[in-house]
């Protein structure tokens, strides 16, 4: 008898890292991928693009806006009704929130980048606990949210000014990760993961011309976290070859 597919939900899966992660996991055939999408139109378009590749695994779109409680509640109800559990949650949805004024930037960034993952994780925790297959939460964070790196003159981020809203929201997400690790463990393993500077629509700077790497290259090390090969580093801020200080 074939092994049951792992149920994985990826928020913000219509483009960039989320889309590439959905594609790589669906290609494996051992996952049932739920593509979280804020926009139904973009979600359906991304789903059609992946299905056109005739991937081995199962994949479907799930309407989920991490800033809207009603869509979170409906997404939980759908997953519970269709699967009765969730094996992996990847909190990937994020924004750079670069439109002024600064107060609005801060509010928008925290709402999507920190509050959203906190509420989504809390809502899906019962379904993760219902999994018997090493359930886990991976919060896609950033080394830009590391206070230790910000204060380190040898860090490449030390001389990069501004970006308060993004940095602060990712620092908050790191604390969310630490709290989830303590409160959900040991049943649910929780990680923060920095995929590095990656080509995406996060900001106009996330392009190859500015040194951003392809999403496919950023996703490959992340799969190691999802598949248990870095479980000894749970509760920390990981990157592709190690960890960053909080």
pLDDT tens track for 138-178? 999 999 999 999 999 999 888 888 889 999 999 999 999 99
Q: Is the pLDDT of residue 119 over 90?
A: yes
CATH number of 6-244: 3.40.50.720
Q: Which of 6, 85, 170, 189 is catalytic?
A: 170
Confidence of residue 209 (pLDDT cuts 50, 70, 90): low
Q: Which of 31, 85, 166, 184 is catalytic?
A: 166
Strand partners, 189: 136
Report the relative pairing of strands 243-244 and 237-238 from DSSP bridges. Answer: antiparallel
Q: Give pairs for 160-168: CB < 8 Å, separation 24+.
A: 163/96, 164/102, 164/105, 164/106, 165/96, 165/97, 165/102, 165/105, 165/106, 165/108, 165/109, 165/110, 166/96, 166/97, 166/109, 166/113, 166/142, 167/142, 168/106, 168/109, 168/110
Is residue 85 among the annotated active site residues? no
Give residue 1's pLDDT: 43
Q: Is the pLDDT of residue 24 over 50?
A: yes
Give residue 187's pLDDT: 97
Is residue 166 among the annotated active site residues? yes
First-residue to last-residue Cα distance in the chain:
44
Tokens in use for 125?
């925790």
Contact 56, 102 (CB under 8 A): no
pTM above 0.85, yes or no: yes
Average pLDDT, the chain: 93
Q: Which residue blocks in the chain are alpha helix, DSSP H? A: 16-28, 40-51, 69-82, 102-110, 116-129, 147-150, 164-184, 215-226
Query: Residue ranges per domain, the chain?
Result: 6-244
């Amino acid at each position: 008898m074939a092994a049951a597919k792992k149920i994985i939900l990826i928020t913000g899966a219509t483009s960039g890292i989320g889309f590439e992660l959905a594609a790589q996991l669906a290609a494996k055939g051992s996952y049932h991928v739920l593509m979280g999408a804020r926009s139904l139109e973009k979600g359906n378009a991304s789903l059609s693009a992946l299905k056109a590749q005739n991937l081995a695994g199962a994949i479907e779109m799930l309407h989920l806006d991490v800033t809207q409680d009603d869509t979170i509640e409906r997404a939980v109800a759908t997953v519970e009704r269709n699967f009765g559990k969730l094996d992996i949650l990847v909190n990937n949805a994020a924004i750079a929130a670069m439109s002024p004024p600064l107060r609005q930037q801060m509010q928008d960034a925290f709402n999507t980048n920190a509050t959203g993952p906190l509420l989504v994780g809390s809502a899906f925790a019962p379904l993760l606990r219902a999994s018997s297959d090493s359930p886990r939460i991976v919060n896609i964070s950033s080394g830009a949210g590391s206070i230790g790196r910000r204060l380190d003159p040898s860090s490449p981020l030390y001389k990069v000014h501004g970006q308060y809203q993004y940095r602060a929201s990712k620092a908050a997400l790191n604390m969310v990760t630490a709290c989830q690790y303590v409160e959900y463990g040991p049943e649910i393993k929780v990680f923060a993961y920095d995929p590095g500077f990656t080509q995406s629509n996060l900001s106009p700077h996330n392009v190859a011309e500015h040194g951003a790497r392809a999403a496919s290259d950023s996703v490959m090390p992340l799969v190691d976290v999802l598949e248990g090969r870095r479980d000894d580093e749970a509760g920390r801020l990981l990157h592709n070859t190690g960890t960053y200080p909080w």
